[in-house]
Structure 1
């Protein structure tokens, strides 16, 4: 999903940057107990569905499940997965790209007037475990938008009170969304189902349903369920829905949860991973194949996950499209009246010929070509730096005006971007459309091909993807421009390095939650939002410590080992250690930031200079005692200084006939990090010293011909995790350069903000 401030456009970006420069980006509200703060739940009792089963449903009572559920507290994994997890590393010699666990055949028809989809689904699922399965869990994501009693809306009320986020739309009459099970059948048996809340959410939440089987599915056997359902799309509130004649059909069908085995993502036993649809969480599902037919009004444009099969079939003013895709774990599609398409192809080393399509509304025609270029550029970059793109299609959808909440969202081979009526290359417009496109395409790797668990470990998708996107923009030498055509007209184009921008929004001073925390146990939506920027910043700093070539090899190896296999944070850490051989650097980043809430803030506390002068007093030398009188010594030193100054008329201030003893005191107000201290002297020379220990403070003494004029920690700006970079340096005498720089930055941001207000 796109960045948290991305939904607010340029105003949100200006406000975010201005707040960061002013050091007010931290959550300042008094901590409140989230509505979802309950004890971890590992087993649940059923809540009978509000919509009763069909009349011919099986009469047998609902039975308790004998396989436990991953519950409320499931989060970042610390133990690496078994080498044989998910069937072991894919070699490329297998019959299919992934170990296909599930397949879906769906016939769907869109009622465009009601924005409702009727569906008939046949799902075939394989039991990978060593025991019989008597019940299965299905995700019913659209019920998050059914009423205010869902987990989604319950959490939204609390989390948005302490931070900003997307998904804040208010649903009015006729705009709610839901999904109804109308029939679930196993062979000749109609099945009963019950809504459950695996995370202890409100009993009114209906985003997870348990279906009790008429016959158990034995170890290694397959289950086939025939399901009839009705999906009512909501008015676009987040990720899915309708606006006008635009329908983004996502999270729209009953989707089976993941049965995890011991050794997979930290699981100690066979368990179901079937979390409720939380406000901040996204998805996790098994790989499989999809065979989907969608019938829509004939004047609608359609795009979907995967490859279109043959020509669409028209009948009575309706058209049926047929799409198929294997080795993916979700399926979404768009149906919109009056939309246009732009097509090209991409080929690259190891990449099959890829059909690239952009679907866009006429009002955002200016966005079509930039989205297309950013998509094809992303195909090249991600294929080169991680692994060859394995699919034959990629489709980007630009939502229409008033449906921006449908933008910035990802599905396998299919994503939504953002639209602009006009793109001013002098401002942030180009950066924003490129960034969102690259970001959503990049999810196709971290969410799609690696298939991380976005419920429990969002940093593995949102955070790592953010980091890799910014590396791409850095390679393109594409900085962030402050969004102001007013400043551009004046010839002023303030810009910011992409990783400096990430640092400003990372909440480094007082992080509330570890990066590895799950998506719902969060102090606020703003705290969840730092998963993007803080992960990108942490990975940036790790790259500086390991070296760029090593880091790049490690991420290629991570992709090689774990694509199509659902890695955990522990699997990422182990791969980084294996490739780099630098366990200390990797473990420090993971212990302090991924699994912890450490802060780094090292600072220069003081600089002291003393001339090394002859001393007054009584001295014993070669058996003779002599006394040096202070007054006589002062006269002698004064005479020496005058003679030296006469002989050195061009000497710099701070130089003289006597050496100087300079002392620099550094203080550590947070976690330990290897630091480089650069001390500059009056003669223009400098000396670098490493501070790489666990001392909370240290003093470094230098004897030089000239005095110290300045000292700076991290002179090459490699440690962006430092919460306060302003106290990294100090000069002996006040220098106005820093004040001028920061005043200029703040002024530029305020001017940009005011110019935006003028346009309202």
Structure 2
């Protein structure tokens, strides 16, 4: 391992230890309402039946139990890349006690300077976000609170660090209210704020005339009640903006007016309301959306005429699909539109109805790619590729990112899991369902471009098999249920490892059972912030296989165990006469080894003469076949298939927890091969090459992987040369 990588891993481990320490040192709140601990992670206790108001029946006046309401008026200065805004935030106290202080996120302050929690973690423990692009001094941005009032009275505020991060972090702020909010009552805060957008390097910002304005407004934290996501008492859930974390917020209603210079195209969360209003060279656009927990928007003077289509699905209403794109990526727009329409159909069919009437996809411009691949309710940024031709890596990249970011609209948007503490429920579940959709479409990952494909050179890989590449399957460092930060290997493995875990679980439960369970999970928990325990309980209940589901979660979600079963030994030998004393004609004769061999060979000649068309591996004597299986990791249900020379097979199951197992047969034919996990149900297995053995040497796997790896490397080098 390179020294620099070792140092980064050690630093990440040190940060994880600091986060655990901080969990016991969090300062009390003025209300004595505790904060969720810094090391909060996968929940083990299912939520109460009435959590978040209970399951939505569809008969309520609103889709969600709205807790917050935002009315925002914002004006963009595209030259200085700033936003001036006023916000009315109405918040309802769901608890049974008065609340005197509330907590809000100012996510943009993660980019204020290098002393934020975000950049401190990145500097000491991680690597650059995505491409690691460093925009120099232009990468800094911030949110400044200009004024905060409650019923005309000034509200004082204090920056806090609930996770024990540096005192210079300003991503969480506490408002101490002049008037407490009684149990069940609501209050309205008037907030004036100013944003300086960063050069887009991490999820938000600008490049030239392009502006992606995300995580840009003061957003109230979540007050959780007992029985919700593992809470045992009323508590605030507000974490600093960590380098590996994303977001968590209450559902509410957004009514936002966005004012930009004339000539700028605007796209945003929700539906546009009426025609834009022009005045003094500025144009105001209004967007409204209920039952969402975030709001993001984009503005650019270079946007080409948008591509639009209407989706009509089972939800009973039409969905307006819009793709915004710059002229240089015109070739990408139609594929992004098609992938979005296909995603609406697939997710609606396999999970449940899409409840909104709009979805907007944005393709960032060239050199603005750090803004790609981000998700917000009814609004996401796609990727861009130079060559989206069918059957190329470009097509697959464009399709996958589009499907993935749309999918977040379900797992992060509608289900609204906590990405700080349980990224498995968003990034992990979403990755699994996206790959499932690609598999249903028959798509494979092509390690080639359009030119090579026209020449007939198009090696392809199964989408779930490709997830294995780059994972430390033999020595995973962190349980899947850990929170998003403080991980030895970062949050990246959550995506692929969760997808493989659920692939393997589905292989045991069956495709239809898994789909039925996930439909119920969506029905039961939409608009309600489920926990990992709620997912586990739903899978166990619907499948009727609580034993299997609970075992998998204990092995991979709440702990970390490698899966590594292999065929350690494989033999198949003739059972021939042996030397020694035997009774012949009424007296004992000592048969020598040489005599025994001669008798056996004579018997073989007679048999071959009588059976001239017999297959190799058959003869006058039976064969004793033995297969020894070894286990280095977690116990998983395994299938072993042994194939014999006469075409027959033996199939056995290994369901025990022992570290090894021997299977033996005495049959008329010799065995020619033994295959563990023939249906490839266990993609978490660290080494699939040791799952199969043949009696005769077979180097095809070695040749195949050498050629495939060489193909990937050459293709990636060629791709890099073109961008």
TM-score in terms of structure 1 length: 0.91
Q: What corresponds to 1:301 in structure 2? A: 265
CA contact (8 A) 1:184 1:228 kept: yes
Per-residue CA deviation, residues 350-391 of structure 1 (Å, 9 max, x unaligned), is 241111111111111111111111111111111111111111
The 5 Å alignment of 1:353-752 reads 353-485=318-450, 487-525=452-490, 528-618=491-581, 626-630=588-592, 631-752=594-715
Q: Distance in 2 between matches of 1:726 and 1:175?
A: 45
Q: Specify the SS of the correspondent of 1:355.
A: strand
- How big is the shift at 1:707? 1.6
Per-residue CA deviation, residues 600-637 of structure 1 (Å, 9 max, x unaligned), is 11111111233222343346899x77344225444332
CA contact (8 A) 2:8 2:124 kept: no
- Gapped regions of structure 1 (runs ≥ 5): 1-22, 47-62
- How big is the shift at 1:421? 4.5
CA contact (8 A) 2:319 2:357 kept: yes
- How big is the shift at 1:685? 2.1
Q: Distance in 1 between matches of 2:80 and 2:713?
A: 45
Q: 1:411/1:147 Cα in 2 relative to 1: closer, same or farther (>3 Å)?
A: same
Q: 1:202/1:309 Cα in 2 relative to 1: closer, same or farther (>3 Å)?
A: same
CA contact (8 A) 1:611 1:660 kept: yes
Q: Distance in 1 between matches of 2:173 and 2:8?
A: 36
Q: Distance in 1 between matches of 2:553 and 2:364?
A: 38
CA contact (8 A) 1:409 1:416 kept: yes
Per-residue CA deviation, residues 213-246 of structure 1 (Å, 9 max, x unaligned), is 1121111011211110001111101111001011
Q: What corresponds to 1:142 in structure 2? A: 108
Q: What corresponds to 1:59 in structure 2? A: none
- How big is the shift at 1:487? 3.2
The 5 Å alignment of 1:9-408 reads 31-34=9-12, 36-37=15-16, 38=18, 39-41=21-23, 44-45=26-27, 64-161=30-127, 165-166=129-130, 168-340=132-304, 341-408=306-373
Q: Specify the SS of the correspondent of 1:504.
A: coil
Q: Specify the SS of the correspondent of 1:36.
A: helix
CA contact (8 A) 1:678 1:711 kept: yes
CA contact (8 A) 1:262 1:269 kept: yes
Moved more, 65-74 or 630-639: 630-639
- How big is the shift at 1:419? 2.2
Moved more, 296-305 or 334-343: 334-343
Q: Distance in 1 between matches of 2:695 and 2:417?
A: 51
- How big is the shift at 1:153? 0.5
After superposition, the CA RMSD in angstroms is 2.0
- How big is the shift at 1:680? 1.5
Q: 1:625/1:260 Cα in 2 relative to 1: closer, same or farther (>3 Å)?
A: farther
Q: Distance in 2 between matches of 1:628 and 1:476?
A: 70
Q: Distance in 1 between matches of 2:720 and 2:296?
A: 37
Q: Distance in 1 between matches of 2:41 and 2:564?
A: 27
Q: Distance in 1 between matches of 2:620 and 2:124?
A: 68
CA contact (8 A) 1:506 1:537 kept: no
CA contact (8 A) 2:129 2:202 kept: no
CA contact (8 A) 1:106 1:121 kept: yes
- How big is the shift at 1:757? 5.5
Per-residue CA deviation, residues 281-307 of structure 1 (Å, 9 max, x unaligned), is 100000000011111101100011111
Q: Distance in 2 between matches of 1:170 and 1:578?
A: 48
Per-residue CA deviation, residues 380-416 of structure 1 (Å, 9 max, x unaligned), is 1111111111111111111111110111000000001
Moved more, 440-449 or 371-380: 371-380
- How big is the shift at 1:44? 4.2
Q: Distance in 2 between matches of 1:454 and 1:579?
A: 25
Q: Matched residue pairs, number?
A: 715
Q: Distance in 2 between matches of 1:308 and 1:191?
A: 33
Q: Distance in 2 between matches of 1:67 and 1:585?
A: 38
Q: 1:598/1:112 Cα in 2 relative to 1: closer, same or farther (>3 Å)?
A: same
CA contact (8 A) 1:654 1:682 kept: yes
- How big is the shift at 1:596? 1.3
Per-residue CA deviation, residues 641-699 of structure 1 (Å, 9 max, x unaligned), is 21112222233332221111111111011110111111122223221111111110111
Q: Distance in 2 between matches of 1:756 and 1:679?
A: 43
Per-residue CA deviation, residues 197-225 of structure 1 (Å, 9 max, x unaligned), is 11111111100001111121111011211
Q: Distance in 1 between matches of 2:62 and 2:405?
A: 25
The structure whose RCO (Cα within 8 Å, separation 6+) is larger is: 1
Q: Distance in 2 between matches of 1:496 and 1:690?
A: 29
CA contact (8 A) 1:457 1:516 kept: yes
Per-residue CA deviation, residues 14-62 of structure 1 (Å, 9 max, x unaligned), is xxxxxxxxx99xx87784043533103366459xxxxxxxxxxxxxxxx
Q: Distance in 2 between matches of 1:621 and 1:200?
A: 89
Q: Specify the SS of the correspondent of 2:627.
A: strand
Q: What corresponds to 1:17 in structure 2? A: none
Per-residue CA deviation, residues 252-290 of structure 1 (Å, 9 max, x unaligned), is 000000000010000011100000001111000000000
CA contact (8 A) 2:27 2:162 kept: no
- How big is the shift at 1:175? 4.1
CA contact (8 A) 1:305 1:331 kept: yes
- Gapped regions of structure 2 (runs ≥ 5): none
Q: Distance in 1 between matches of 2:269 and 2:590?
A: 91
Q: Specify the SS of the correspondent of 2:94.
A: coil
Q: Specify the SS of the correspondent of 1:242.
A: strand
Per-residue CA deviation, residues 452-510 of structure 1 (Å, 9 max, x unaligned), is 00000001001100111111111111111113345324311010111111122443121
CA contact (8 A) 2:431 2:496 kept: yes
Q: Distance in 1 between matches of 2:524 and 2:356?
A: 19
CA contact (8 A) 2:35 2:236 kept: yes
Q: Distance in 1 between matches of 2:552 and 2:498?
A: 10
Moved more, 602-611 or 569-578: 602-611
Q: Distance in 1 between matches of 2:172 and 2:596?
A: 88
